[in-house]
Amino acid sequence: MTATTAPTRPNAAETTVFSVIVAISVCHMLNDMMQSLLPAIYPELKVHLGLTFGQIGLITFVYQITASILQPVVGFYADKRPTPMALPGGTLFSLAGLLVLSVAHTYIMLLVGAALLGLGSSVFHPESSRVARMAAGARHGLAQSLFQVGGNAGSALGPLAAALVVVRWGQSSLAFFAMLALLSCAILWNVGQWYRHHGLARLTRGASGAQPAASMPRGRAMWGIAVLLAMIFSKYVYLGSLTSYFTFYLIHRFGVSVEVAQFYLFAFLASVPVGAMLGGPLGDRFGRKYVIWFSILGALPFTLLLPHASLFWTGPLSVIIGLILASAFPAIVVFAQELVPGKVGMISGLFFGFSFGVGGIGTAVLGAVADRSGIEAVFWICSFLPAIGLLAVFLPSTRRA
């Protein structure tokens, strides 16, 4: 007598909940679009308030440091005591930040508004990345890419919104964009309900990826985290130089208008979500280590060419650089989560926070370099940063036996 076995049904905890991932991605888009309005209005602020490049760099420094310091703390707390309603609550800081910036006519008020924006990001990113991991099932790279695409799309829409709205109607129009925080709050309220009633149960059953992809000594895992943070340094200092100073570079070197420079910046930032969308699934398919190798070191030839290119080639080169560099982050975050299993919130907060922090410090330093040596020197110096991608050779393997 032959024994028959019933077809195995996939564990509900291993299914991918796309509705939650898409909702988080949309809110990531709204959040980062509101955040990216700050650097998008730098040219107007520089003219109207007489700011130096160093002062502009300090504004970015305050915003990104405020975000970076708190993100690992929020992530660590969420691992210990999950707080679903922190997601909609955090959007109120972004709302307040844009309202302050819309009426800021002193440098101190600009710094206060930047700090409030940073607080909004410090709550949103680690908790929302944690929810994306809960809803991922077995497709961690895809979920992280979809989540990251929303943020990258929002960062790209910020300069476009500034070119079409803020440049035309002025600084006060930021109050209109602040209303988007209310839409994000409503969506995140529903996500928080799923988090409370379903996400925590999936986390208990291991759907968040708490099971280790590979066992390795703690020291080796920490070495891998250090290498990944060096990659983040390379990526975000370079991206920070383009986000904050690309418009100034184009205006100074090629004599284009502010509106044209904003559209060039939009083209660069629009390439970033495409790269982010590719990075996660490619990491799931071929291995995250290979994606990390390519996404950092592969940008080096193009970054070296950019400071010497004509206006015609500057656009395509910046788009290629954005595509390649952006594919790194989803692979890096998931790789780090596999190195330190069970600490999804803390690792997400660490990497999002570190990316904000080094971007802020790098932008502030590069602003001082631009004041002293000229804006073109900034892009020449940054062109060598992707060479740090050579450190990928030291990454440990997380392949399953």
Q: What is the pLDDT of residues 311-331, one digit of tens each?
A: 999 999 999 998 888 887 788
33 close to 154: Cβ distance less than 8 angstroms? yes
Which residues contact residue 159 at a Cβ distance below 8 angstroms, ignoring those fewer than 6 apart? 36, 39, 40, 247, 262, 265, 266, 269
CA distances in angstroms from 263 to 246, 304, 350, listed in the order given: 11, 23, 32
Which of the two residues, 241 and 343, has the higher pLDDT score?
Answer: 241
Overall pTM > 0.85: no
Give whichever of 34-43, 266-275, 281-290 has the largest mean pLDDT.
Answer: 266-275
Please, what is the average pLDDT of the chain? 80
Which residues contact residue 346 at a Cβ distance below 8 angstroms, ignoring those fewer than 6 apart? 72, 75, 76, 79, 126, 340
State the pLDDT at residue 2. 44
State the pLDDT at residue 6. 43
How many Å apart are CA 349 and CA 78, to the nearest integer? 10
State the pLDDT at residue 212. 43
Range with the poorest average pLDDT among 52-56, 114-118, 233-237, 291-295 = 291-295
Give whichever of 41-55, 102-116, 120-134, 165-179 has the largest mean pLDDT.
Answer: 102-116
CA distances in angstroms from 231 to 3, 44, 96, 172, 305, listed in the order given: 53, 33, 33, 38, 21
Q: Has residue 250 got a pLDDT over 90?
A: yes
93 close to 120: Cβ distance less than 8 angstroms? yes
C-alpha torsion angle, residues 164, 170, 173, 178 (rounded to 10): 90
State the pLDDT at residue 303. 93
Q: Has residue 301 got a pLDDT over 60?
A: yes
How many Å apart are CA 270 and CA 32, to the nearest integer? 13
Instruction: Write down the domain spans for the chain.
Output: 17-394
* Helix ranges restricted to H, 213-287: 218-254, 258-286
Give whichever of 1-5, 58-62, 170-174, 307-311 has the largest mean pLDDT.
Answer: 307-311
Three-state secondary structure call for residue 377: helix
Three-state secondary structure call for residue 6: coil
State the pLDDT at residue 316. 94
Q: Has residue 400 got a pLDDT over 50?
A: no
In the chain, the percentage of residues whose pLDDT exceeds 70 is: 89
Which of the two residues, 310 and 130, has the higher pLDDT score?
Answer: 310
Kindly indicate the confidence band of residue 45, based on its pLDDT and cuts at 50, 70 and 90.
confident
- For 195-234, the pLDDT digits (tens) are 887 766 665 555 444 444 445 677 888 888 899 998 889 8
Inter-residue long-range contacts of 191-196, CB under 8 Å, 24+ positions, other chains counted: 191/20, 191/23, 191/24, 191/27, 191/87, 191/131, 192/84, 192/85, 192/87, 192/88, 193/84, 194/17, 194/20, 195/82, 195/84, 195/87, 195/131, 195/134, 196/84
How many Å apart are CA 252 and CA 384, to the nearest integer? 22
- For 23-35, the pLDDT digits (tens) are 988 998 898 888 8
How many Å apart are CA 82 and CA 133, to the nearest integer? 14
State the pLDDT at residue 398. 60
Which of the two residues, 261 and 363, has the higher pLDDT score?
Answer: 261
State the pLDDT at residue 201. 63
State the pLDDT at residue 56. 84
How many Å apart are CA 179 and CA 187, to the nearest integer? 13
Kindly indicate the confidence band of residue 7, based on its pLDDT and cuts at 50, 70 and 90.
very low
How many Å apart are CA 338 and CA 125, to the nearest integer? 19
How many Å apart are CA 123 and CA 11, to the nearest integer? 31
Q: Has residue 380 got a pLDDT over 90?
A: yes
CATH superfamily label, 17-394: MFS general substrate transporter like domains (1.20.1250.20)
